[in-house]
Chain A
C-alpha cells in the first residue's frame, strides 16, 4: 500500500507541474473543441498534432494527447443534444434522448448530466485503471514472442468481428495494414522491401502522414461531398445544473455506465461505441418506463455518456500493460510513445512510473478542467458550432500539411499524406473501416518480430503457438470469432430450410 501511495505522489508531482497542467489544459480544450465540431475526430486531431509533441517530454506529450481523447468524449455530447448530429461516433446514442430533451426545453439538464456523468465516469475509470494496471502488467510478464503473436492475431480478430460493417472488409483492412507496415528496410536482413527504388520509402511509410491522410484529409474530402446544414436549437440554454429528480433518475445509470464502459473499453475495436449502445439497452431494460426511452428521458443520456468516458480510460489498460492498442487512438498513442523512445509493455509501469502515474493523475485534473470547460463555457461551444464547415476545412487541411511536413521537413511525407487522403476517402465511400488498418499498421512490425522470434526459438516448429497455453487460448478464440459468422449463417439457413 505504501508503494501505491508513493506512486500516486510521484504521479501528482508530475501532473501538477506548470508545464504538464498547461499541456493537460491544451489537450482537454482541443478535445472538447473537436468533439463539438462534426467533421473532425480525435484520431485525425491526435495524428495532426502528434509531430508537434516531438519537441516536448514524452510525459507532457501523452498527457496532452490523452486529454484530447477523453476531452472529445465530453464535447461529442454537445452536438448530439443541441443539433442531433453526433460530434463523435460514441455520442450517437445520446442523440436519441438528448435531442428530445433539448426540444422540450431541457437542453440544460441534458448537457449538465452528460458533463457531470462524464466527470464521474472519467474519475471512476482513472481509479480502476490505477488499481488494475499494475497487477495486469505483472501478468503481462508471462508473455513471450508466441503469446504476443497470438494476442495480436486475437486483437485483430476481435476488431474485425466487432466491425460496424462487413467483417470481411474489416479483415482485409487489418491485412492491408500489416502489408503496408512491411515497406522499408527489413531489420533482420537489412534488405529493402517494396520500396521500388524510392529513397524516401527506405524507412517505411511514416505513421503520421498515413494517419493524417486517412483520418484528416480523407474525412475533409468526404465531408466536402456531403452538404449538411447544421441547425442549432435557438432556445436559450438554462438550468445546466440537474435538479434532485434528475440526479435520482440518473445516478444509477451513471454508475452502471461507468463500470460497464470501463470494461468494454478494454476490448479491441469499438469498445467505447459498443459500451454506449449496451448501456442504453441496459437502462431501457431495467427501467420502470422503457416505453419513454427515445422521448427525452435523462437516464438515456446519462448512461451512454458515462459509458463512453469510462471506456476511454479502459482503453489504456492493454496499451500500458501489454503495449497493445485497443483502438485507433491508443494505436496513435503507442506510436507517439515509440517515437519518444518509450516502449509500452509489461515493464512500462516499472520503467516509466513518471509517465504512467503522471498520465493517470492528469486524468483526474483533466476531468475537473473538462467540467469547468463544459458547463460555464457551453455558450462558447454553441458559437463554435455555428462556424460553417467551408471556413473550417481549409484550416484543417493546413494543419494536416504542417503536421505531415514537420516530422522530417520532407515534401514526400505531404505527398504520402495526400495519397492516403484519397485512399481514406475511397475507404469511407466503400464502407471500409479504418481502425483495423491503423492498428495492424502500428502492430505489423511487432507481429513480424514475434513470429520470427517464435520460429527461431522453436527451430521452425509452428506447434510452439499451440504448446503455450496463453497463445493457444488466444488462437482458439480468434478462430472461433472468425468462423462464428459462417457457422451462424449456415445454421440460420438450415433452420429456414427445416421451416
Chain B
C-alpha cells in the first residue's frame, strides 16, 4: 500500500515513480492513476530537448565503427585498449551488417558509445551523492569511468585514455581527465583538450547512464561471478 501511494505521488509530482513490489490488486488503481495523468491535454508531447538529445545519442551510437585499428592488428595494443576503443569497435563491428548508416564510410570523430553485448544496468552511486556539476569516479571492475551531472542529466564517460589505455586521473581544479602517460587531457564530456601526439587521440567513449530509485546506474558488462 505504501509503495503504491508513493508511486502515485511521484506520478502526480511528475517525478520518476519509484519501483516497489506490486500486489495483484494494485494493478487497477495504478492503471487508473496512469490513465488520469495521461489524459491531460498536451501532457504527452515530447520535450524538444529530449528529441534533439536522443537523436544526437543515436548518431553517436550508429556512427561507423573504428574497425580498421581494431581488426587489422589483433595486438597487444588492442588488448590494452580493451576498455575503450576496442570494446566499442567490437560491439559495433559484430553487428556491422546490420548497422544502419547514412552510407558514408569516412572515419568519424563523433563520440563513441560503449555498449556491452551482454550488458546490464549496474548501480554505481546514489543520486544524492552526485550533485549538479559534480563528478564521481566509478569502477565496474572491467570498465572504469567518471559520472557527471549537468542540467540534472547524468552522463558517464570511460576513464581510460584512448591513446594507449592508461587510466585517467581527475584533475578536480580544472575539471579535466589527465592521462599520466603521455600528457593527453580530456574534458569531462570526453573531448580531447590537450595532447602531444602526432595524431589526436579519439574522444572518450560514453556509457549509458540513468537514475532509478535514487541510484545512478551505468550500463556496463555483467558483473563477473568469479
User: Do the two shown chains form a genuine complex with each other?
Assistant: no
A residues within 8 Å of B by Cβ? Answer: none
B residues within 8 Å of A by Cβ? Answer: none
